[in-house]
Amino acid sequence: MAEIRLPRYLVTHMYAADPRAHVFEGKIYVYPSHDIDAGIPENDDGDHFAMVDYHVLSLEDVTGEVTDHGVALRLEDVPWAAKQLWSNDVAYKNGTYYMYFPAKDHDGVFRIGVATSSSPAGPFTPRPEPMKRAFSIDPAVFEDDDGTHYMYFGGIWGGQLQRWEKGTYDPTVPPEPSGDRPALGPRVARLADDMLELAEEPREIQILDPSGEPIKADDHDRRFFEAAWMHKYQGTYYLSYSTGDTHKLVYATGDNPYGPFTYRGVILTPVVGWTTHHSIVEYKGKWYLFYHDSTLSGGKTPLRSAKVTELHYRPDGSIVTLDGMTGLPLEE
């Protein structure tokens, strides 16, 4: 068999996007969206991302064999959900694995639900109702060193975050603000002890430019769009996210899980395909970026494939930018 080098695709027998990776039970588990061709025309609401189930992947080595554990959760088994199983994430506490996933409810509103399993590979059993204080898309759960779990979430445009600005859902709000006002930030909240609800009202995260001013709504090269992810490196909190219509993965750093975070730079330049989405994880002493592109489908936006490549830090903690086309550093 040919030697596998990074970057590499994780699987090619199905389309797997939005890869959220964690180390559980000594292996890397990856929780992707399962992309399908639903035949729905593309629009800014993302209706063409019409996924109906999740698979779980695992690997013992980043260049080794990838196991597809099969279907872990089906849309039809979630009573409150009507369509669009978008990016999920999984956390572990006290013998149980908790999958957090968004879907549109029967009124077309994105909610976030929880499903549980005794195994990181699933299958996961969904709770009958969505979480009470969570909304929008792209949940990502971060466990801090003291065992506290925080959920980051939100995405603008089709992810509907802008519709929650006043605390309740308002479908008349435009896809995002514009001009010199601060851009919308992702939300963060501590998870309750039982991991099934948020323990507090979600807070909007402030992302500042290096001069201390909030990143502005018109700054599409740096403003938050979707796909928030939190990791900690050498005691610093790294918030990374997609810039959406400028197609970059970027990051900002702070000294606590709530922020504010200061913009630091680009992690990954645009990939083939409209969306970009990722996770960052340390495994066996190295750091990896899990991400996706649409190369294998010939550039079709809703048919993406998950990949992994190595991530490098400079001595000052900044991240070396990777080229979205090659998955390799842009500098030596």
Catalytic residue ranges: 18, 226
By beta-carbon proximity to ligand FUB, the closer residue of 27 and 221 is 221
Q: Decide if residue 87 touches ligand FUB (CB under 6 A).
A: yes
Identify residues 198-227 at the interface with ligand FUB (CB under 6 A): 226-227
Q: CB-side exposure of 281: number of CA atoms within 13 Å? A: 25
Residue 18 found at the interface with ligand FUB (CB under 6 A): yes
Contacting residue, 49, 98, 110, 261, with ligand FUB by CB under 6 A? 49
In whole angstroms, how close is the CB of 244 to ligand FUB at the nearest point? 9
Cβ–Cβ < 8 Å for 144, 190: no
With 0-12 / 13-18 / 19 or more C-beta atoms within 10 angstroms meaning exposed / middle / buried, residue 203 is middle
- Per rule CB under 6 A, is residue 86 in the interface with ligand FUB? yes
Pair of tokens at residue 29 = 């588990």
Q: Write down the least CB distance from residue 38 to ligand FUB, Å.
A: 12
- In the set 137, 140, 281, 322, which binds ligand FUB (CB under 6 A)? 137
CB of 155 to ligand FUB, least distance (A): 6
CB of 41 to ligand FUB, least distance (A): 16
d(CA 222, CA 218): 9
Please tell me whether residue 134 binds ligand FUB under the rule CB under 6 A. Answer: no
For residue 7, is the peptide bond before it cis, meaning its omega torsion is within 30 degrees of 0? yes
Cα distance between residue 176 and residue 57, in whole Å: 34
* Binding of ligand FUB by 277 (CB under 6 A): yes
- For the chain, how long is the longest CA-to-CA vector? 56
Tell me, residue by residue from 146 to 185, as one string, x for binding to ligand FUB by CB under 6 A and - for no binding.
Answer: ---------x------------------------------
R_g over Cα of the chain: 18
CA distance 267 to 248: 8
**Does 17 engage in binding with ligand FUB (CB under 6 A)?**
yes
Q: Does 138 bind ligand FUB (CB under 6 A)?
A: yes
If one asks whether residue 81 binds ligand FUB (CB under 6 A), the answer comes out as no
- Omega before 123 within 30 of 0, i.e. cis: yes
Q: Are 52 and 65 in contact (CB under 8 A)?
A: no
Distance CA 232, CA 8 (A): 24
What is the CB-side half-sphere exposure of residue 187 using CA atoms within 13 A? Answer: 27
Identified binder of ligand FUB from the candidate list 16, 33, 149, 252, rule CB under 6 A:
33
Which residues here bind ligand FUB, judged by CB under 6 A? 17-18, 33, 49, 86-87, 137-138, 155, 226-227, 275, 277
